[in-house]
Structure 1
């Protein structure tokens, strides 16, 4: 004869530890056993160690994903658009009583997410916004339930004003991705467009050199279609390498007008490795103002720049560039010495000529 285990009667701390060790699906299954168990489980304090993703489309929340932190984590899917039992996707988890609430899709999502966040406390929230109106974007970003977001991915017909609202919330701990469907006008501008830790814009014809020169302490900038050319990127490279602070760890940019290696590397010491259409170039400044070097990979119109600010970054390339810099310095000094010798010889000739003129004048 088997007897059930009275898990509800466990002491609070023991119950919290027991449920906390359960897999995500087991924790969810336990919650659904009864209304009393649901209240009990939602009252427990679990560590904030889950990654959440919420998919929004205008008029519909879509669904949420909950997973453990890590690349190989298997997510739990929650269908949040279901009401009155209609339209359920069999791959999704549906908690009907959570879905059947009053309000529009944003209000309904807030209600559902409040429960999910208690059951699976979040360490990172990602928002997926597809064809969402500017008004809805403003409400989503202002909702206290979603204030801890760290990542926004936008797609579809999202207006520039909606993108500006997202940029208003930029911080070094957040990232933004705009896919190729999000087309901002050429005159688009926002002072915090590149204040995210990661900022990727598939269509970036609006991005200017001045905006990029103002970048500070970001990890990755990705720019798809742009109006920038290789000589603009050269200006960026000089600034990246010569500043005393790290502007950007990695820049991916598609330039217009094709790749011009000479314009790209002008007035920089370089070492290039050619492999078909793909070139790898290591660069440093002619003068050793700091320890930065750059690694550039070019392919068709794409330039990928990685900035190494530490002595151990690109160690072998750093050693080679240091030797190239030393050789060039010695050569410049030798050239300067040759020029000085030529100047001395010219002065000596002029002295001799002046002596002869003077002696001739005195002999008369």
Structure 2
């Protein structure tokens, strides 16, 4: 995996950065390339410029961290990042109901207060989904797991959820009526559960990783 983390000033600007990228990928021939931008390091106009060029290259994941992703910025990401790649946004997101928000192969939204239970239920055939800083309760997650088990469609293979601020993780409520196996090694808590045995699905086993705001 090649994680492209460049300091534009150290590398003497965009052209040097892109040359380094091309040389590094030619030499190492990575299977996965992660491109990461920190919103607090450059002006928004510069980030958009560098991002536009980066999106023309081959990549496995685009990561946006720190600061704020406003509606215009989010729309740009939703409409230009390849849906077959992974999108990670570790910045504050201005509420925006873009139709592509849940269509990426995998995605992580680390400020997901705007994500609803209906949004989760609309996701299909996705490998990994992370939603942190949500508004979800233990009852919400229990509702979703039952929906996952009984759905005729493949939904999410691995789901990591951080519950709403102030909500204490109660596994009895969260997993009520759901046969599961808990991993004692993983922190935060990880649970594995089976889909409906009468349904032939690619994701026959689901993984739920639960955490809560301390």
TM-score band w.r.t. shorter chain: 0.7 to 0.9
Contact 1:270–1:281 (CA under 8 A) maintained in structure 2: no
Determine helix, strand or coil for the equivalent of 1:189.
coil
Measured in 1, the distance between the counterparts of 2:31 and 2:183 equals 43
Q: Give yes or no for the alignment of 1:198 onto 2:145.
A: no
In 2, distance between residues paired with 1:112 and 1:279? 40
Query: Does 2:199 align with 1:290?
Result: yes
1:315-334 matched pairs, under 5 angstroms:
none
Count the aligned residue pairs.
203
Q: Calculate the TM-score normalised by the size of structure 1.
A: 0.46
Distance 2:36 2:114 in 1: 23
Q: Which runs of 5+ in 1 are unaligned?
A: 1-50, 63-78, 82-104, 303-364
Q: Distance in 1 between matches of 2:131 and 2:63?
A: 15
Give the equivalent residue in structure 2 for 1:178.
89
Check whether the contact 1:270–1:283 (CA below 8 A) recurs between aligned residues. yes
Aligned partner of 1:207 in structure 2 is: 115
SS in 1 for 2:46: helix
Shift of 1:174: 1.3
Alpha-carbon distance change, 172 to 248 in structure 1, aligned in 2, over 3 angstroms: farther
Q: Secondary structure at the residue paired with 2:146?
A: helix
Give, in angstroms, the shift of residue 143 of structure 1: 2.0
Q: 1:191 to 1:137 in 2, by over 3 A?
A: farther
Query: Are the counterparts in 2 of residues 141 and 166 from structure 1 also a CA contact under 8 Å?
Result: no
Q: 1:128 Cα shift?
A: 1.6
Compute the TM-score of the two structures, normalised by the length of structure 2. 0.73
Structure 2 residue runs without a partner (length 5+) = none
Separation of aligned partners in 1, 2:190 and 2:124: 25
How far apart, in 1, do the equivalents of 2:109 and 2:190 lie? 24
Q: Which has the higher strand share?
A: 2
Shift, 1:210, TM fit: 1.9
Instruction: Determine helix, strand or coil for the equivalent of 1:135.
Output: helix
**Residue number in structure 1 paired with 2:45:** 135
> How far does residue 272 in structure 1 lie from its aligned partner after superposition?
6.7
Q: 1:294 to 1:52 in 2, by over 3 A?
A: closer
2:75 counterpart residue number: 164
Q: Distance in 1 between matches of 2:92 and 2:52?
A: 24
Three-state SS of the structure 2 residue aligned to 1:232 is helix
Instruction: Tell me if the contact between 2:190 and 2:208 (Cα under 8 Å) persists in the aligned partners.
Output: yes
Which has the bigger relative contact order, CA under 8 A and spacing at least 6? 2
- Compare CA radii of gyration and give the structure with the larger one: 1
